[in-house]
Structure formats: C-alpha cells, structure tokens
Structure 1
C-alpha cells in the first residue's frame, strides 16, 4: 500500500512537472514570438520614419503638388497613411515593408535632393562680390565654397575669427582656388548678438574689398535658442537672443553696408529662413509702446523643453493667448500657441527680406527654406552638458558633472555614429542646402501670388518660388504693420547701442 501511494504521488508530481514545463515552454515561446514580432516591426521603422520626416519636410508645401489640387493638409494625410501602412506591414511582412520603405525613401530623396544637387551659376557673365554670414560652418561655408569655385569674391562673416580662418583653409585646400576669392575682414569678427560689431564689420568689409559693391548678400547665420526667461536673453540687450541675433543683428549689418554705399544697385539679398517660420507668431504687445511684453522672451522663449524630436528646433506648443501666426499651416492654429523662439526668429527673417526690398536697399530680396539640414544648428551648436544645464529641473539619471566625464568616451562615439549613419537618412547635407540657397538667389525675379505682391518672396526646399497654393498669409494688414514695426525697433536698438558707445559688450 505505501508503495502504491508513492507511485501514485510520483506520477502526480511528474504530471505537474510536465504541465509546468509545458507552461514554461509556452511562456518562452510566447516571449520569443513577441520578441520576434518586435524585431520584425522595428527593422523597417528607421526607414519608414525617415520617409515620413523627409516627406513632411519636402512635399507638403511643394507648389507643383499644391497647385495640382493636393493642398498641404491632404498631402500630410497621405504621408501619414503611407507611414502607418508601412509600420503595420512590418509586423506580418517585414522584408516587404523594409523593401517598400527603402524604395519610398530612395525615390523621395531623389525627388527632393536629386534635382538640386547641381548649384546654379551666379552671375555667369562676370564675377561679383558676395557676403555670407555664418560662413565658418554648415550651409554658410558651403555657399561660400561654391561661390568661390564659380570665381566670385566672398566676404566671410563669422562670429569666431579662428573658426573662420579654419573654414577658409579647408575650402581653399578642397577646391584649389586662389586665396583672394575668400576674404576675412581683419580684426572684425561678426557677432550678431552685438550690434556694434555689425557696423565695424561693414566698415572692415569696405576696406578689405577696396569699396567694391556687394551684389549678393546671403544672411545665413542662425542658431537654435535655448532656455526661457533670463537664460534665453542676449547679454547685450536683455532681449530674447534668437530674435535679437537673427533679426536685429542682420538688420544692423544691412544698415551698416547701406550707409557706406556698399550694396550695389542690382544687389540681391537672400535670407536663410526655414519652414519653421510657418509655426512662428508674434505677441500683440509688439504693436504697442516700445514693443515690451514679449521681446525679452516673456511669452516666446527658446526651447526650454526638448521639441517633438530630439534634434528639432521647434518646442512643444505652449499656450500663449496673445500670439497669432501670420502664415496658414495645416499644423498650426491661427492664435493662442507659441512654438518657441526659433520659429519666431525664422519668421522675422521673412519679414527682414520683405522690408529690405520695400525700403529700396536691394534690387531683389528673398527668403528660403533650405530643408532640414545636418548641421550644427540641428545639434544646437552646444555641447550636451550645456544643453542639459539649460533645461529645467528634470529627473536626469546622472548629474551634469557626470555627463562631462561620460561624454569623451560614450557621447562622442554615439554622436559620431548618429551623424554618420542615422542623420543622413533624415536630413540633407549642407552642400545640397547651399545649392537650394543659390537657386533662390538666381530664381524668378518676381514670384507670382498674393504674398509676392506684398513683397514676400519665399522659396521652398527645392529652390522653387512658392505661390498662393503653398504660402497663404493669414492677416495681410498685420504682416505689413509688423514688418515695419520690427525694422523700426531694430533701428532704435542700434541707435541706442551707438549712443552708449557699444558699452556692455
């Protein structure tokens, strides 16, 4: 009897162990299945995400598509539907999804980048003198290089004399052109956050070029403003740093060149803006008093929080009841939201181009979206510890000091890998963007459409002039008021700095 009981219990334990083993095997199989599904799902995702990112940037405001009856919001819907379909297909047919995503991305890159790879000839009949700001890196350096290659004389405007000299050496070595084609005015760094340097740079430019008239002015310098409140203000003025440098600084440079009669009678100005300007808006306080209320970043601050993408210059929208946008966009409400200082600064660049033309300072003036470009501006032109220090208190896994210790070994390798393999999928290179900028420089003298009639000549990321189907203004009267208002405030700031003798720099 005891032995029978033992045998019974042994069999019972064996059956239980078998059930447990089966349950464990089923659990393991389920986990393996989920893991496999996740891997299959993830494989095409980078290419699908890159397709979505590049398509939104390159297609939704393309004139040919918009004028053919596909407005921006319809194109955005089609792009989103394609992206979702590729993502869902990757679960069941990952190889098919991967092939389709690669084909779609390759076709798109050829369409939006392939057609602008060859820069146009600027003044093919005779060399001209050009001035390029932000010429030490990124788009500015490639614009300067291409103009020098074509035989023109280029005045390089840079904040750092050392970086400017290094860029000049690199360009000369790469192109094997005479050094006289790239001019750096001596002892005159151009720091757009200090208005007095703009006047000195203009004067030094005249001396360095022998008073030759500038026929092409490329206002390219820019950055992504960080911080909010005091952390995002210019040390010279107390105003919000993005608007101050990218609008006030460039306006002071143009004024300085004009006062010295260095802008030729047929001069062309190109302001490197961005489609981020479609998210830009101005607070109503700009139209009253001396503009107090938002100029110091009280409402429109830099990106104190990361944007929708880790490298994106746009902020998450913040409620701002007094802010209204000037340009129609399927993604942006007309009033009540701010997308940060970068969007406003790029919108101000469009107004700067308009106002230069309206005041007769140049014969032709345009603004251009160069596309989303893999340059230092996308990396905020700052090291990671500084970026983290500018963020509000967050639950960071390590301290800033620890980041500084980790970065040399980990951050540098990660950054290099991202720049080498990932970012080229999502962004175009600076040389392609430079070709777009030069296309805008030699494009149609008078783009068609209501915006062009008001002096807003804007070119998209393929160097095409956009018309009413791709650029619709929400409030024409307000645009006219703000365009003149910003210019007047910049004049007042420049004169105030001159009276103080540039103190506080």
Structure 2
C-alpha cells in the first residue's frame, strides 16, 4: 500500500458499525485517531460494539447514534442530528447492508434490499454532502458494493421486485446500484470544485453474519449449512474483508471513481487493490436514469446545483 492520509481527529460516519465489516472498519479507523460516528439500527448493539472497541483501544473516540436505513424518516433524523452536532465530515462509509433475504418491504414500501443497501445510503449521502462540501481539505464518500454486482441488472420495469422476486437477483441489483451511484456521484463531483472523492469498494467473500440472515429468514437449514461451510472454507475474515473500505478511506493515491477489492482468486480474498468492475456498472445513461428515479423515490435532491447532470 502507498502512503495513508492522516485521519487523526477526522470525523467519519460508518453505517452498520456494530458488526461485521462495519465493526472492523470502525475499529481500524479509530485506531488511526479518527472520531467515528457509529450509525446503527440498534443502539444497544451499537453500545456493546463501542465498549468492545474501547476495551482494546482505550483512547478510541466513538459516538453511537440510531440510523435505520429501512426507514427514510430515520435517515433524515440521523442527518438532522449530525448537522446539529458536527460542522465537518471527512469520510462517509456507506457500509451497512442485507443479503439475499426473502422479500419484504421497508417502511416506505421499497423492496428491502434495494431500500436498505442502496436507497437509504443514497438519501443519507444527499443529506450529508453539504457538510462534506464545507469541510476543509479532501473528503470521501465510500460505498460498499459486492462481487455480486456482476450478476446484477437494474430492472426499471420492476425495481421493487413486485412482479417477480429472486433474493439473489435483488441483491445483485442493489449492489450494482450502489456501484453505479458511486461512479455517477464521482462524475458529478468532477464537474465541480468540491474536494470530494466518491469511491466504490467490495470485501470479496468475508465471513460475517450477512450470509446467515437469508437462510435463517427463509428457514432453509440446507442453505444455512452451505453458507456456514463456505464461510469456513472460502471466506476471509471480516477483518480482512474490511481492508478495501479502509484502503479506500485512507490511501493517499486513491482517485475518485476507483473501485477497490481483494486481489486474490476471483477477487474473493486477498489484499486490497484498485480493480475493474462489470461492463454494466460503467453505463452512464443507466446511471443517470437511476439517479433521477432514486431522487423521485426517496423524495430528496442532491441540493447542490453543482451536482445537477449536464
């Protein structure tokens, strides 16, 4: 790895910070001296994670605050709280997510994976971007995608999976949407003078609770057994899986529009590197359409006129 940015005293928001990849990202960045806002659906689990990190890093600077990405009112409330307590934001880690679960809907009626993995983060970024614009020095938006984005397709005719639903297709669509958003945000930022980089990343296959939830919610013991076995045989640790997001947040040579993932077999494990993504992910017309549709769906606008597509 090349030289790292100094995150001492930087303000960082990590969604889903209480477990898995988010926990490891939080711990690593806290160790580098950043102040982390742990944005968690469960305050209780967030406080437990905070205490665990503080046990190993007594000087860690951590704040837990509620954020339920499945409820846009919660997203708006989190952003309002953040803007009242903080006047700067150096790094936003759009990390939280769910994977391959049976179909259900968010509070606003969106298909849950599309709503949590993508639309919630889209709205959160729109609310927090003005704070990043006024923050001194370079700031970064890091959005977590997945190797599953390669199987994803943005189905504008059935975005919410109401006519036909496959847990894995919906997951792939949500993760493709995340990556297209990261790229489109960067394209728009490049047209401005804002010192903000938008970067995509993915963890490869990392052993977290993410793999268990789909089989548990669908009641499939076979799928649960297969996922447990795959985690044991194929996956790297959550600590290793967090490295691409940490790299994207800290490496001084990272460019906006980069995509970071493990460098090993099928990009499933290994050390973080900048790599390519699927052909679909670079489709500018689809990305711009997705952006417009997303603004309509969540009822937010990236208020800065700088980010209006030309």
| Cross-structure match for 1:464 | 273
Say if 1:258 and 1:460 are closer, same or farther in 2 by CA, change over 3 A.
closer
Q: Summarize the alignment of residues 88-487 of structure 1 with structure 2, pairs less than 5 Å apart.
A: 122-124=4-6, 126-178=8-60, 181-185=61-65, 189-208=66-85, 210-211=86-87, 213-227=88-102, 232-259=103-130, 264=135, 266-283=138-155, 286=156, 293-298=157-162, 301-303=165-167, 315=168, 340-360=169-189, 363-380=196-213, 384=216, 386-388=217-219, 423-443=231-251, 444-446=253-255, 456-461=257-262, 462-466=271-275, 470-471=276-277, 473=279, 479-487=283-291
Q: Check whether the contact 1:268–1:363 (CA below 8 A) recurs between aligned residues.
A: yes
What is the CA–CA distance in structure 2 between the aligned matches of 1:343 and 1:280, rounded to whole Å? 4
Superposed CA RMSD in Å reads: 2.9
Secondary structure, aligned partner of 2:210:
coil
3-state secondary structure, aligned to 2:68 = coil
Deviations, residues 195-249 of structure 1 (Å, cap 9, x unaligned): 12111111212334x32x111111110011422xxxx142423322111111110
Q: TM-score scaled to structure 1, two decimals?
A: 0.51
* 8 A Cα contact 2:8 2:32, kept in partner: no
Structure of greater Rg? 1
1:364-400, Cα deviation, whole Å (9 max, x unpaired): 1111121101101111267x3x322xx7xxxx99xxx
Q: For residues 424 and 121 of structure 1, what CA distance do their matches in structure 2 show?
A: 33
> d(CA) in 2 for partners of 1:355 and 1:458?
13
Give the Cα separation in 2 of the matches to 1:475 and 1:135.
27
Mapped partners of 2:281, 2:16: distance in 1: 32
Name the counterpart of 1:491. 295
User: Structure 1 pair 246/347, CA: closer, same or farther in 2 (3 Å)?
Assistant: same
Higher mean C-alpha deviation, range 431-440 or range 269-278: 431-440
Distance 1:121 1:168 in 2: 28
Which segments of structure 1 move beyond 4 Å, counting only runs of 4 or more?
259-263
Say if 1:281 and 1:150 are closer, same or farther in 2 by CA, change over 3 A. same
Shift of 1:427: 0.8
Q: How many residues align?
A: 284
Structure 2 distance, partners of 1:140, 1:472, is 25
Distance 2:99 2:285 in 1: 26
Query: Structure 2: any 5+ residue segments left out of the alignment?
Result: 263-270, 301-310
